[in-house]
Amino acid sequence: MNKKIKDVLHQKLQAKKSVLAGLMIIATLSSCSKNNEEIMADAQTNALQSKNVKQGKLGGQTITYEKKDGLNFFQGDIVLTDQQLTEDNSANKGGASFSRWPGGKIYYTVAGNMGSINGNKITTAVNEYNNKTNTQWIPRTNQTNYVEFIFGSSSGSDGWAHIGYQGGRQNISLDQYISVGSVIHEMGHTVGLYHEHARKDRDQYVSIQWNNIQDGQAYNFNMYNSGTDIGPFNINSVMMYWPTSYSKNGQPTIKRANNTNFTYNRTGFTTGDINTINAMYP
């Protein structure tokens, strides 16, 4: 091959490299130019491609939930019935206006396989509700409308619960290593509380870090507009998400609105939680 041909081939190769580099720069700039709304939309579109992630109606609002083990999970640990996902009745809205337990009396039983560890945590949490709120958790005798605490996982530290009063038997599931604060949190869902980060006014107080959320989980950070917000936003509420909930990289998924980190300890009720529950159950 003579020098002239070599020079021509070299020039063509360099030109191709330049084009590829330019395309990479354009792609990078395009990605960086996306705002939070576009990132959120992309993440939620990707989530809906999963066969287990579905959409339904709750209190008139279209919401995204996950179908798992035959249950409908909303925002991770709230279980909705099929009926709740098809009703479009404003009288049955979620949030603090969801169906409440008659007279604030919640009858409960504890499954036999819960063991003493979870049993003691349940007793502590029940005492917190009975001593600090207008709800009364009462051991069941023969009532047909009640809650059963059931055992979840022997290795986990999470839980889930049905939301509000439904009638019949409904459950609160607790893992072996769940904290007392998180037991109170799950019982809060039973009382009728949704997550604090889903309030309509949350963007005034917190900033969702969409880039740090696990793929396919962004819908868990949607606002729940059909609920009723009671009292001021409470970043320390027992119903608040953790700062790193659903993080894919260990970085915060929720920060304060001024983009600073916050420390959250789910140890039990705040005054705001108690006031909210007592406003629901005067």
Let me know: does 213 contact 169? Beta carbons within 8 Å. Answer: no
Q: Is 10 annotated as a binding residue?
A: no
Q: Is 195 annotated as a binding residue?
A: yes
Q: Is 189 annotated as a binding residue?
A: yes
User: What's the CA gap between 251 and 71, in Å, rounded?
Assistant: 30
Pick the closest to residue 181 from 271, 270, 266 (CA basis): 266
DSSP-derived 3-state class of residue 252: coil
Which helix (H) or strand (E) element contains residue 19? Answer: helix 3-32
* Residue in the structure block whose two tokens are 């604090």: 196
The verdict on whether 186 is a catalytic residue reads yes
Catalytic residue among 66, 128, 186, 196: 186
230-260 as b/e, with b when 16 or more CB fall inside 10 Å?
Answer: beebbbbbbbbbebbbbbeeeebbbbeeeee
Residue numbers in the known binding site are 185, 189, 195
Give the residue numbers annotated as catalytic, written as ranges: 186
Residue numbers in the known binding site for Zn(2+) are 185, 189, 195
